[in-house]
Structure 1
């Protein structure tokens, strides 16, 4: 059953993405919920408190999901797959939270609320730990910097979530697979390996014979 508090957060989240926190009034939120403006204050002291609650709820669920899944998988591919799929799953439950966080510098800037900053750091640690373990095990290419690799994969996830917000529930698995293919396996088809052994030698001799025949034909000129 949806509580009034949850309803307020859901309506406010959409308005915050459309107009920004500063551009959204308490009355806008109250109208969207079907409350008088004064009644809204029985549930939240301010619109900033609503924005905080939206992001805080998202981060709590995200970390809880990471903690429940990540320790049970091992190896770079399995760990990243767990993190990517978990991220998209939780983002589907909180469809506007990541955009509010990205759009509002107050929540990710140097003066971000301490609980938000601490939760974000905790979430980042899962990605960093995976990258460092992959480096130490030899699964991550030696020329790649683990923190930068972790940041690029993580940012790829959250920007994909933002781009596909309206279809995330239906396309989440496909989006996750694409991210994993690009960042873990690489997007390019491997170049074919050069042949070696008797078959390769025969192929080379055949090509040389064709070239020699063409040269001979050119030297002899056209038939009289």
Structure 2
């Protein structure tokens, strides 16, 4: 591991534990085992370290999306590629997602344009996949494709946060669980031969059943 990589790793963990504001350059230098003055040969400030951590993560994330999506087709395969790629990249960039989530300076109105532009570009892969699925009828008609993409994407990042310490070992299981949870509920429901299996039909059946029970009539 290069000296810069060591600094980024140690700083990232401290930023998550204490916040960027609560971490000093000396804290980072001590964690790496170097003098504070020497750290400035690699980064001009602790804010520059935080920026690099998040920026490098987003660059790798976008690169991975661009490399895998052209080779898959269909809603399940495309979202599967996005979810697995996201978790793989997050595993390679420990704590980057938490720093982005925790620090308002990265996702608030004062966010650096390099970060906000990269986030918007990364989000586009998710929204574009959901919109295509909606147009093809792969996504249930009553679902807002943009909201579906947002919820699945945020589910990935919060799962990364929750499983941080074991993510390298549980990445595949976490990804498959998210895909099953979201996609099985998002695909159109089949129509049975006896009539449409709609929510309204099921409600009518339940109400009729309750009415019979109320009148103590047999089924």
TM-score (norm: length of structure 2): 0.84
1:86 equivalent in alignment to 2:53: no
Q: Which runs of 5+ in 1 are unaligned?
A: 197-224
In the alignment, is the contact (CA less than 8 A) between 2:62 and 2:121 conserved in 1? yes
Question: Could you tell me which residue of structure 1 aligns to residue 51 of structure 2?
Answer: 52
Q: Following TM superposition, by how much is the alpha carbon of 1:186 offset from its aligned partner in structure 2, in angstroms?
A: 2.8
Q: Following TM superposition, by how much is the alpha carbon of 1:71 offset from its aligned partner in structure 2, in angstroms?
A: 1.4
Question: Could you tell me which residue of structure 1 aligns to residue 35 of structure 2?
Answer: 36
Question: Could you tell me which residue of structure 2 aligns to residue 111 of structure 1?
Answer: 110
Question: Could you tell me which residue of structure 1 aligns to residue 64 of structure 2?
Answer: 65
In the alignment, is the contact (CA less than 8 A) between 2:87 and 2:175 conserved in 1? yes
Residues 164-179 of structure 1: pairs in structure 2 closer than 5 A:
164-179=163-178
Q: CA RMSD in A?
A: 1.6
Question: Could you tell me which residue of structure 2 aligns to residue 133 of structure 1?
Answer: 132
In the alignment, is the contact (CA less than 8 A) between 2:9 and 2:94 conserved in 1? no
Q: Which runs of 5+ in 2 are unaligned?
A: 196-219
Distance 1:127 1:30 in 2: 38
Distance 1:100 1:128 in 2: 23
Residues 181-220 of structure 1: pairs in structure 2 closer than 5 A:
181-186=180-185
Secondary structure of 1:42's match?
coil
- Where do 4+ consecutive residues of structure 1 move more than 3 Å? 193-196
Could you list the per-position Cα deviations for residues 90-119 of structure 1 after superposition, in whole angstroms to 9, with x for gaps in the alignment? 000012000000000000111100000010
Distance 2:137 2:119 in 1: 28
Distance 2:69 2:90 in 1: 17
Could you list the per-position Cα deviations for residues 181-224 of structure 1 after superposition, in whole angstroms to 9, with x for gaps in the alignment? 0100139xx9xx7989xxxxxxxxxxxxxxxxxxxxxxxxxxxx
Q: Following TM superposition, by how much is the alpha carbon of 1:138 offset from its aligned partner in structure 2, in angstroms?
A: 0.3
Distance 1:46 1:120 in 2: 23
Question: Could you tell me which residue of structure 1 aligns to residue 151 of structure 2?
Answer: 152
Q: Which protein is bigger by CA-based radius of gyration?
A: 1
Secondary structure of 1:186's match?
helix
